Structure 1
């Protein structure tokens, strides 16, 4: 019988450099796996690119690694990176052809790798973060649920009629695209985006696809379109803000395992009776998020909210139809 036991590091807060992040096996501090695949670092020259951690320490894409046993690294992480590398080499069509569960695992591994690094650092931080992740029971509960489904990387797992995330794959117009690689994540809201050449992948983890459904009209309007980088920034702002106001944490339940089973089947439940799924959409808060995303174009919040009922949009016109855009013309 195949071992279908899940590992739970949250039970004893087992976030150390001597436990494999994926299975918990005791390892030495030399046993590490890169959070960002070697192929990704080489292709986009990321090794020396800096990342700021929550405790204000600086690391680089090349230095960011997680404790990982040889078995998990060889059997699970390397094949996943190889699959994504092959798919990404074929552009948008290649990534669209990849099983969504594999993209979820790939994004989840990078997100969780950053999270585990933060949790290990909190034991001896450079500067104590204002909001320590390890001292927030609600956040830890959310991360625990997420790790349960991320273990589909190691333990064969079937999600019954759901994917634990919302995935958006977008194509960027080459005309004014000057950034071959971009990366952004929000630890608390579990929103993530990565740009690989002309393809952007935006993902909200642990929402069971609800955010994708909620943004259905936006998806319809942009489907099959090439987005100008400023339009991509706005798309990201809408997704990241939706993740910010998303107000429920899905629960996952493993169906009873029979001796002949070779995989787990997970069902899910969302409590939408005692909790609203989304908190109210507030224009000033959204405008603040959009301003952050539009920083490269120096667009301020007051410009975004000139008409408070209809915030500035580069993506959609007054009839919510897609606005074709080849070049950005500076606002007055």
Structure 2
């Protein structure tokens, strides 16, 4: 794992600064006109989707990155059905590449920042431990690898109703909690990396209710707030172990272990902190924290009714 401009992000091979692969695939940039769209980095410097590249050797770019992007592009042309048919491990790798590419960019920037971030990610031992574990499972991009009975993430695929949806593309990530979401047309992919599917299980009822429905954008934002907040209070880092190999094996098999004896898997769910996350997600609708917590024990929800059933919604009507 090297955070430099002169090592391939995936295999570590020494390269020149010209050897790069786009963090966001070129097909994605073209389809959603992203090339010149600006991104603000943690050190307050500005880049664009088109400029955001990750150090990558020619072999990894040609043999692993391009086929992955081609697979996702083909699946995305078929909308929800295409993305659902894609092997979940490929979606994990695709999201992992974008997440890690953004992370490496931030960490390279931290060595010579425009403005020193208040909390330097590279100086946090716990975060570096998480990145190390993530880097291990990201190697499945180039090393044939099977995760036995688990996927190193929680994946949610949601469909957005076109009635009041004005954003063909949307992207958000939280580097420290490893939460990620990307919207491609009417399909939103929400993912929490490095949780082995625990967050999906913990939010089981929510995903059962929301997946398969046509969500209003405000409902999608609420779903993301719940997932991103769950990632925020997730409190363990899985360990991964490669099974001993036998002659003739053509792939690695990984097992996993989570220390839930000395660590609580989740820190307590605190309504004010969740309401703050929800306020961030609901910024386009100008819904403030005090409105969200009118009833402190039951924050307002556009997604679920009082019986925790799905609340169908076609248009947003501003609350008075």
1:243-289 Cα offsets, whole Å, 9 max, x none, are: 00000000000111234221110000000000110000000000000
CA positional deviation for 1:128: 1.1
Q: How does 1:35-54 map to 2 (within 5 A)?
A: 35-54=23-42
1:319 aligns with 2:319: no
Q: TM-score, normalised by structure 2?
A: 0.99
RMSD: 0.6
SS at match of 1:291: helix
Aligned with 1:107 (options 78, 90, 95): 95
Structure 2 residues not aligned, in runs of 5+? none
Aligned with 1:57 (options 45, 62, 70): 45
1:328 aligns with 2:293: no
SS at match of 1:166: strand
1:281 aligns with 2:257: no
SS at match of 2:5: coil
How far, CA to CA, are the matches of 2:210 and 2:24 in structure 1? 29
1:231 aligns with 2:219: yes
Greater Cα offset, 173-182 or 113-122: 113-122
Partner of 1:202: 190
Structure 1 residues not aligned, in runs of 5+? 1-8
How far, CA to CA, are the matches of 2:122 and 2:211 in structure 1? 40
How far, CA to CA, are the matches of 1:220 and 1:97 in structure 2? 18
1:282-329 Cα offsets, whole Å, 9 max, x none, are: 000000000000000000000000001110000000000000000000
Q: TM-score, normalised by structure 1?
A: 0.96
How far, CA to CA, are the matches of 1:223 and 1:119 in structure 2? 35
Partner of 1:3: none
1:11-33 Cα offsets, whole Å, 9 max, x none, are: xxx32111100001111111110
How far, CA to CA, are the matches of 1:82 and 1:200 in structure 2? 19
Alignment coverage as a number of residue pairs: 320
How far, CA to CA, are the matches of 2:93 and 2:31 in structure 1? 21
How far, CA to CA, are the matches of 2:295 and 2:95 in structure 1? 37
Partner of 1:307: 295
1:82-136 Cα offsets, whole Å, 9 max, x none, are: 0000000000010000000000000000000001111111111111111111111
How far, CA to CA, are the matches of 1:312 and 1:199 in structure 2? 25
How far, CA to CA, are the matches of 2:91 and 2:210 in structure 1? 21
Q: How does 1:48-127 map to 2 (within 5 A)?
A: 48-127=36-115
SS at match of 1:296: helix
Partner of 1:213: 201
How far, CA to CA, are the matches of 2:247 and 2:155 in structure 1? 34
